[in-house]
Structure 1
């Protein structure tokens, strides 16, 4: 999404929740989001967190994982190396916990992907799309046009030559013309794509366009704000939506959706 790139290379305003202890090292992703609000570290805790505005510091222990130039994973029998370019592209070019948890879920065999037509929305680093491809899917990996150079390089460097023709990397603007994607997909994947409220109507429109009554939609996310839950409410008006996996250590939930039938 375009707001992923609205970040200054030299200085960012961070929003840090004080007095809360969240398990994941990713618990301050909201620090670099353009919209400020209150984050739920625990769905069972309704207490108002204390907020403080502080200058972004790349040496912060919590954020240091994003300053690593590379991160390493092992999925679908393959060693993967994902380059991170935080200083160049900001939040679009790092690996978030929601993507890792979704990859773990897919790699465990919970979703039938072999020979399925799969699309990943808001791919960022492309990790989820890479893993889906390795698991046998015919994969379309998408993000904004400006993200494609980084995304394409990351995907191509992690998928062996014998996977050529099994995946494509394409630009997909949720606000744009969706006719380049005319056929419904078997599976739609999204990791941490529901945190910007202004995109919710367009995201839902995109998911509706890409799906039919047989399509399975998997959304992996951390609910940081009340507005994030609002998207799930919007989606549940059109899709039967179920919580299917909760990673308590990383505060990540995976939801599964399927279009309602009349």
Structure 2
């Protein structure tokens, strides 16, 4: 169900010519939790103002496989609305949700709506530009999550660099991708990523051309391969 609303602005905003923000509210249920995801439609957020089917597919996968993030460090890339990172928080993770700086307000709004006060200390919202400021983040994440972030071949080298930096040896990366042949997403997953990660398909929605991949770092030293992988 989708509800259309308008965010109220102050009289000062009106005097300065600030337009009213139109929002859409979408409701979802995963893993026993109900979500209300608010999207800022006319805030120049581009593709980030949508809940993409690949993100919902990743949430469904976590639900079906009974994935737990309890006590784990999790980071989501290109979050958009924040739905995947919010679910990971509710499933016990210590989560950092990231996207471009102009997307922060939309994500923070959804965090406030969906994360109980008692869990707020386990979720952070931070800007992250792949290949630029990823080194401002630690290298010890147990899980790195991304849904529909494989959409432009121009960004692929920076995305790989960021993934390699963030995930720890023995950690897991989950990418849910809608395959679009024109953007080279197939070669990204089948040729580029296997140079750096052990890759496997864990879910395939053939009717929607969406594939969920699980990846782990290829061991770079004799002891690395002995570390236990996350589920």
- Tell me the TM-score range normalised by the shorter chain: 0.7 to 0.9
CA distance in 2, matches of 1:148, 1:68: 15
Q: TM-score, normalised by structure 1?
A: 0.71
Hey, what does 1:212 align to over in structure 2? 168
Q: Find the partner of 2:139 among 183, 190, 201.
A: 183
Asked whether the 8 Å contact 2:205–2:211 carries over to 1, the reply is yes
Q: Find the partner of 2:90 among 131, 134, 139.
A: 134
Asked whether the 8 Å contact 1:243–1:255 carries over to 2, the reply is yes
- Structure 2 spans left out of the alignment, 5+ residues: 1-21, 221-231
Hey, what does 2:103 align to over in structure 1? 147
CA distance in 2, matches of 1:260, 1:164: 34
User: Deviation at 1:111?
Assistant: 3.0
Asked whether the 8 Å contact 1:107–1:131 carries over to 2, the reply is no
Which deviations, in whole Å up to 9, do the C-alpha atoms of 1:197-225 show, x marking residues without a partner?
Answer: 11000000000000132110000011112
Q: Find the partner of 2:199 among 204, 217, 241.
A: 241
Hey, what does 2:186 align to over in structure 1? 229
CA distance in 2, matches of 1:110, 1:235: 26
RMSD: 1.6
Hey, what does 1:159 align to over in structure 2? 115
Which deviations, in whole Å up to 9, do the C-alpha atoms of 1:76-110 show, x marking residues without a partner?
Answer: 32211111223322210110000001001112244
Q: Structure 1 residues 197-206 or 77-86, which shifts more? A: 77-86
CA distance in 2, matches of 1:70, 1:201: 34
Asked whether the 8 Å contact 2:39–2:106 carries over to 1, the reply is no
CA distance in 1, matches of 2:31, 2:172: 21
CA distance in 2, matches of 1:253, 1:177: 28
- Structure 1 spans left out of the alignment, 5+ residues: 1-66
CA distance in 2, matches of 1:109, 1:132: 13
Q: TM-score, normalised by structure 2?
A: 0.80
Change over 3 Å in CA distance of 1:159–1:124 after alignment to 2: same
Hey, what does 2:30 align to over in structure 1? 75
Q: In the TM superposition, what are the counterparts of 1:80-95 in structure 2 within 5 Å?
A: 80-88=35-43, 89-95=45-51
Which structure's residues are more often helix, by fraction?
2
Q: Find the partner of 1:102 among 58, 74, 89.
A: 58
User: Deviation at 1:68?
Assistant: 8.0
User: How many residue pairs end up in the alignment?
Assistant: 196
Structure 2 SS opposite 1:118: strand
Which structure's residues are more often strand, by fraction?
2
Asked whether the 8 Å contact 1:107–1:135 carries over to 2, the reply is no
